[in-house]
């Protein structure tokens, strides 16, 4: 990522302010990618830093890849780098800035290791684009993107609460529920034993992996029954059941009525 900077004003000095007349405003945003740099300042707005590469040396800590730090307004900061380093940054203000930031990430002025996440990097790329467009819609979209950055940061900073969520397996099921899915393979995706994976999956979703797969298939079948005139056999095959009669038994067990009766009640 190359070094780039975007301001909502014509001059950099005008972006360094605390604006209490708006709920939330992104003052400026950018990326730094250099071998050596240093900075020492005090700003009147919030300052968010996300390190992607190298290290930023501060008086009381070192920020490494995946580290985030948010400085409050009027908090002095100082940092430097001695190697090729890349980081993303954003300054923001507004009368809701403090409460919003605290709800996403309660501790300010300390580093949080969240890891490198494409979602957050993508949000910054979109922020850059909105600053280039620079119309009224861009101002509102920039605020939305800032909120997404802050709450994603908070989510990953609290990763201990998220470690048990089998997101990779769940995403795979949602994309591939029509195919035969090996639960042991899902466990491998999450780097868990099959026993641990099954227990973790049930703890988070309330059902077993197989029941979750069935629920996705039945939900898709309900949609096809209510929105198309496809035959029951065609719908069964489309959602992953080669046997129409087995599909009908499973459907009735889960929905409480056979597929044709469901279609009748849905108005098809």
- Coil, helix or strand at residue 46: strand
Model confidence, pTM: 0.67
Q: What's the rounded mean pLDDT across residues 155-162?
A: 67
* The two structure tokens encoding residue 47: 């300052």
Same structural domain for residues 98 and 117? yes
- pLDDT of 11 reads 44
pLDDT for 28-37, tens place per residue?
A: 999 999 988 9
Query: What's the confidence (pLDDT) of residue 9?
Result: 62
Clarify whether residues 126 and 174 are in a common domain: no
Report the distance separating Cα 240 and Cα 232, nearest Å: 12
**Averaged pLDDT, 153-165:** 71
| CATH number of domain containing 83 | 2.60.120.280
Residues 23 and 74 in one domain: yes
Full strand arrangement of the beta sheet holding 25-34: 4-7, 25-34, 85-93, 46-53, 67-71, 112-113
Q: Which residues have C-beta within 8 Å of that of residue 137, sequence separation ≥ 6? A: none
Please give the pLDDT value at position 109. 78
The whole-number average pLDDT for the span 98-114 is 88
Domain end: 110, 142, 160, which one?
A: 160
**Number of structural domains in the chain:** 2
pLDDT tens digits, 191-222: 899 999 999 999 989 999 999 999 999 999 99
* Residue range 139-157: mean pLDDT, rounded: 94
Per-residue confidence at 82, pLDDT binned at 50, 70, 90? confident
The span from the CA of 218 to the CA of 225, in Å, is 10
> Is pLDDT at 123 greater than 90 in this prediction?
yes
Same domain, 88 and 104: yes
**pLDDT at residue 73 greater than cutoff 60:** yes
Token pair belonging to 54 = 């190298």
Are residues 109 and 52 part of one domain? Answer: yes
Q: Radius of gyration (Cα) for the chain, nearest Å?
A: 25
Same domain, 10 and 107: yes
Q: What CATH code is carried by the domain that includes residue 215?
A: 1.10.10.60
Closest to 52 (Cα-Cα) out of 104, 125, 107, 136: 125
**54, 138: one domain:** yes
> Is residue 154 located within the same domain as residue 171?
no
- Choosing from 160, 180, 205, the residue where a domain stops is 160
47: nearest Cα among 72, 15, 79, 26: 72
Q: Please check whether residues 78 and 197 belong to one and the same domain.
A: no
Domain of 187, in residue numbers: 167-266
Q: Which of 106, 135, 160 is the last residue of a domain?
A: 160
């Amino acid at each position: 990522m190359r070094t780039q900077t975007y301001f909502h004003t014509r001059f950099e000095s005008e972006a360094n302010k605390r604006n209490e007349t708006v709920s939330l405003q992104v003052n400026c945003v950018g990326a730094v990618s250099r071998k050596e740099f240093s900075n020492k300042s005090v700003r009147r707005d919030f300052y968010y830093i996300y390190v992607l590469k190298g290290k930023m040396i501060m008086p009381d800590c070192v920020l490494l890849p995946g580290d985030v730090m948010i400085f409050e307004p009027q908090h002095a900061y100082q940092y430097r780098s001695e190697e090729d380093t890349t980081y993303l940054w954003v300054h923001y203000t507004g009368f809701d800035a403090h409460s919003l930031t605290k709800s996403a990430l309660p501790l300010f002025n300390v580093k949080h290791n969240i890891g490198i996440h494409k979602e957050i990097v993508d949000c910054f790329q979109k922020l850059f684009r909105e600053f280039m467009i620079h119309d009224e819609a861009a101002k509102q979209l920039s605020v939305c993107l800032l909120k997404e950055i802050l709450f994603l940061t908070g989510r990953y900073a609290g990763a201990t609460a998220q470690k048990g969520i089998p997101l990779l397996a769940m995403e795979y099921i949602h994309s591939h529920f029509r195919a035969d899915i090996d639960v042991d393979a899902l466990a491998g995706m999450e780097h868990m034993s099959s026993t641990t994976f099954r227990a973790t999956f049930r703890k988070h979703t309330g059902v077993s992996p197989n029941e979750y797969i069935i629920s996705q298939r039945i939900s898709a079948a309900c949609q096809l029954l209510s929105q198309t005139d496809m035959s029951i056999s065609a719908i069964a095959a489309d959602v992953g059941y080669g046997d129409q009669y087995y599909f009908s038994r499973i459907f009735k067990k889960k929905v409480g009525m056979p597929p044709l009766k469901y279609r009748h009640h849905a108005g098809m």
